[in-house]
A and B are shown apart, each in its own frame.
Chain A
Amino acid sequence: MRPISAKILKVIDETPTIKTFRLDTAGWLKGKPGQFVMVWARGVDEVPMALSYEDGITVQRVGEATEAMFRLKEGDTLGIRGPYGNGWELVGDNILIISGGVGSAPLAPLAEKAAAIGVQVTVLAGYRTKEEVHFETRYRKAGKTLISTDDGSYGHKGFVTDLMRDIDLSMYTQIYCCGPEKMMYRVLGILDGHKMADRSQFSLQRHMKCGIGVCGSCCIDPDGLRVCRDGPVFRGDTLISSELGRYARDGSGRRLKLWL
């Protein structure tokens, strides 16, 4: 599809570095939680963004394209292609959501959708500092919510993975996770330790060019799965022996070691 011009209906300042754009996509963008759209800031770049609402995206300022988006106002337009990829699969009636930073974007609508159909929702949400906390109200409305900040300025002091220690993971029918790769890798490690990787889903981020499963820029090792088409949501047990947490590729296809 060509990018469809979507008018920005509302810009919400979530935090100093994160904005939500509600878009006039009524009638055509029927994305489900976990799917993404390719967002075209004309004349600059086009980047993948998770749907944080049926008609909205939540954007952290990280580069040229998002800088350009941050300059846009209500009434301006963005080019939108999508929805693309598969979304979260809702499994069981008691789910745990583990959210890190703006990884909340695909998770908040999942929490809301699950709560709306009677699924019990628990959320562990981690942020860097108090001023980066967002979607707290959305999460609290959906279910029990525990918050951590790295610097302790709000909620538990430490990482979101610390919050996993105090709860009985085995009671959850499915665990959903999105956030920085380092955090997702730790969550997957903890779940694997509890032999629960097969009960978890993770949303991955990789360098995307075409977004439709043809160019291969977002393929992950060792199975050549395409994040844009076979993902972005993958089951934890699929990712156990993958490149997750070890390396990613830049726009040239070069492997970049993450931190190990």
Chain B
Amino acid sequence: MRLTVEAGGLTLQNPTILAAGILGTTGASLKRVASMGAGAVVTKSIGVEPRYGHPNPSMIKLECGYINAMGLPNPSYREFLQELEVARQAGVPVIASIFGANEAEFREVAEGLPGASAYELNVSCPHAKGYGMQLGTDPALVEAVTRAVKGAVDVPVWVKLTPNVTDITAIGRAAQDGGADAVVAINTVKAMTIDIDSGYPILGNISGGLSGPAIKPIAVKCVYELYEALDIPVIGVGGISNWADAVEFLMAGASAVEIGSAVYDGLEVFASVSMGLSDYLERKNMKLEDLVGLSHRVVKHEAHKC
């Protein structure tokens, strides 16, 4: 079954995308993930200056998912440009995840990293002071940052949203108003874990963000709400580790899905999600686009009957 999909201004051979911050430090690693079946790859979040991130432990596998506080380690856009060039040999769209403290920084990074197939604005990292979520919880800032990057590049701009807000649709609308081509939902959920032998919080940064299976229902709900509220596509991310998870996200309204922590189980996750999706569509005699937002249509249909 054909899995080619148009998502957020990009054409993908299949709807699986490597999520930001996962294996995205080097171009070679991004190429490797593409060769393992990802339809597109997102880089590590890149900023203006080199950052070393938070002290370790910076990522731990928990019983229900993963907790991390990497702290946006990145070598700066100047240094990362050579990695982006390597990644572009992958043969799939390479999306540059970028962050900054304000519109000017976002713009500087986007302009300094030419050649990306799209830019994904990180306004959602929950554990880097002055960046990420600190901007992403303010609709006015999200709109301004989106508009600034849109004005600086001529490829699609995606905005990755935080679930750590009362109403994610308000932030999604702000991104849309700023000219975003898609929103990506969700980033990690604020979380913390403590070593009960010593009382020390385990993460070097004390707290961080939760990813993996534990946050999937939160992400599905966010995607569902955004699909309803927005006119631009939604890219789903959060706890996807198999084809059934992907189907669920598509039904909630995602046009494509990003996969992050599940690479822990193996890089073949991208190919296995694609194959599972393809089998599912064949079994159901459906096309991929029939799946996108299906839950909304079912609910409306049922409501109409009453």
Contact = CB atoms under 8 A, between A and B. Distances in A.
B107 to A, nearest CB: 22
A216 B44 contact: yes
Interface stretch (A97-105, A146-154, A221-229): A221-229
A253 B193 contact: no
B5 interface: no
A32 B74 CA distance: 33
A253 B263 contact: no
B73 interface: yes
A216 B26 contact: yes
A40 B57 contact: yes
Contacts of A223: 28, 32
B80 to A, nearest CB: 7
Q: Is the interface of A mostly helix, strand, loop or mixed?
A: loop
B24 interface: yes
Interface in B214-263: 260-261, 263
Q: Is the interface of B mostly helix, strand, loop or mixed?
A: loop
B28 A252 contact: no
Given A214-B23, A216-B29, A224-B23, A252 B59 contact: no
Contacts of A213: 263-264
Given A45-B55, A254-B50, A217 B73 contact: yes
A219 interface: yes
A127 to B, nearest CB: 29
Contacts of B197: 5, 77, 79
A219 B263 CA distance: 14
Nearest to B63: A2
A3 B201 CA distance: 11
Interface residues of A, number: 39
Nearest to B23: A216
A249 B7 CA distance: 34
Contact of B21 (A43, A212, A215): A215
Contact of A221 (B28, B55, B261, B264): B28
Contacts of A211: 59
A38 interface: yes
B202 A2 contact: yes
B119 to A, nearest CB: 19
Given A219-B25, A219-B26, A5 B32 contact: no
Contacts of A214: 22-23, 59, 66, 260-261, 263-264
B21 A209 contact: no
A181 interface: no
A107 to B, nearest CB: 25
B263 A251 contact: no
Contacts of A224: 23, 26, 28-33
Given A46-B204, A254-B75, A5 B195 contact: yes
Given A44-B55, A81-B57, A212-B264, 14 more contacts: A1-B61, A2-B60, A42-B195, A45-B56, A46-B204, A209-B58, A214-B59, A215-B68, A215-B70, A216-B29, A219-B25, A226-B23, A249-B25, A251-B53
24 contacts: A1-B61, A5-B195, A5-B197, A5-B198, A40-B56, A42-B200, A45-B56, A79-B197, A81-B57, A209-B58, A209-B70, A209-B73, A210-B58, A212-B264, A214-B22, A216-B29, A222-B28, A226-B23, A249-B75, A250-B52, A251-B53, A252-B50, A252-B53, A254-B75
Interface of A: 1-3, 5, 38, 40, 42-47, 77, 79, 81, 209-217, 219-226, 249-255
Interface of B: 21-26, 28-33, 44, 50-53, 55-62, 66, 68, 70, 73-76, 79-80, 82-83, 193, 195, 197-198, 200, 202, 204, 260-261, 263-264
The 10 closest A-B pairs by CB, nearest first: A224-B32, A224-B29, A5-B197, A46-B56, A216-B23, A210-B59, A254-B75, A224-B28, A251-B52, A219-B29
